[in-house]
Structure formats: C-alpha cells, structure tokens
Amino acid sequence: MMQYQDWGLIEYAAAWDRQKELFDARVRAKSPEAAQSHADSAALPGSSALPNTAALPGSSALPDLAIFCEHPHVYTLGKSGDQNNLLANAEWLAAHQATFFQTDRGGDITYHGPGQIVGYPIIDLEHFHIGLRQYIERIEESVIRFLKPFGLQGERLKGATGVWLDATDPHKARKICAIGVRSSRFITMHGLALNINTDLNYYRHINPCGFIDKGVTSLALETGAHQDMEACRRKLFACMQEVFGE
C-alpha cells in the first residue's frame, strides 16, 4: 500500500536529497548482502524467528511512498537531455529567482514551480509485479483518470512520455504532465510534474522535454478556474491507488 506524503513547498535540491536517502535505503534493503545478513540473523542458534520474506531479494520490506510537493522556480535536465534546450542564461535565471539542475532521471528538460503538482513515487515495482515501462504507463493512466472529471481527455503521444491534450493534432497538441523517472533494483524515484495553476510563462525559456513544436498547458488554463492544490493532490493520489490496484 502506498503511503501519502506531502512535503509542501520545498527547494528542489532539498527534495532530491530526501528522495535519495529514501531511495538508497530501499535499494540497500534489496541487495544480496542485506539478504544474507537477514538470513544469517534468522539462522542464529536459539532464534525461533522466521525469515521475513519481504526483505529478501526481489522485494523491499520498506513502505512504498507517494510523495507530493511543489518547488520554487527550477529547470531540471535529464541525464540524456540536451542542455541547449535551456534557452535562458545564468543572468536571466538569477533575475527570475530560478535555478537549474542536471539530474539522474530520464527525459530531457522540464520546469517545476509553484502551482504544479510534483509527484515522487518511491516504490518497489516488484510489489506490483510490473516493469519500468508498465510503471510509466500506470502513472500516465493515473493522470488521465485525474483529468477526466474536469472534462479533459488526457492522451499519450507516440514516442513521448507524459500526458497530452489533443495529442493527435499537430497544431493543438499540448503537454499537461511530464514524466521522468529513475530506477534501480526495481525501486523508483523522481516521477511526474502535473501543471495545475502553473505560471506557463516559464516554459518560454526552454524547449519542453526537447520539443520545439509542442505547447504546454495547465488545468487552470484549460478549465478557466484556479484550482485547490491540496484537493488536486488528494484526487491524484486516489487515482494512483485505483490504477495500481490498491
């Protein structure tokens, strides 16, 4: 069962450090060394404890987390991204109180800022019997279901992760949710960025996700109404629980 956590408004670097601590703990728990140590302890003379099979290789005993937060203005670039997709220079970033980070997630460049739901699921995919591609598809499906009650039809775009509106129309296609993840031993980190009340002007200074011919949008822009962030986070988490089968 995924546990809901709300980190509020947090600097990107601080959130990345906290993520890495949680991620690394779960990766270590699945290492052969950890499993052998667990087995040796269970086999000590006089011990009647049965091995906790959830802690053996293939499954982490630590809880799965669905972490939500917002960041101050920041641009992040994936490990295989092109820094030329950042169109702003250091002076512009400083003047607009924005920062830039090269990260270890997949994907290209994206923007995070106030009014955007940033989701960091730190989960063991083996708990759900899925691989990384299926995981990304389930994140996309969660966002698609979240958008539906607002009268919006979220879609996938061939060759690109994330959730789009009017994906098949080259003149109207616009992205509302970016996805970029990292995994090791089936443990995930990083995740999704869903535009709710986001200031979309900040996207003018990047080629979002490496695209030069696609737009971006937000829930507020599409509905014409400012949205309650807490309510949106809770609704998205409920959709994730539904999609992941909890």
Dihedral (C-alpha) 209, 104, 116, 8: value to the nearest 10 degrees? Answer: 180
209: annotated active-site residue: yes
Range 5-24 burial, b when 16+ CB lie within 10 A, else e: eebeebebeebbebbeebbe
DSSP-assigned states of every residue in 207-228: -GGG-SS-EE--HHHHHTS---
What's the token pair of residue 122?
A: 């730190």
Is the Cα torsion angle 35, 38, 40, 43 positive or negative in sign? negative
Q: Count CA atoms within 13 Å of residue 157 on its CB side.
A: 23
Q: Is 35 within 8 Å of 61 (Cβ atoms)?
A: no
**And the tokens for 43?**
């086999």
C-beta of residue 119 within 8 angstroms of C-beta of residue 221: no
Residue in 69, 177, 209, 239 annotated catalytic: 209
Using alpha carbons, select from 75, 77, 65 the residue that is nearest to residue 106.
Answer: 77
Q: Which active-site residues does the annotation give?
A: 209
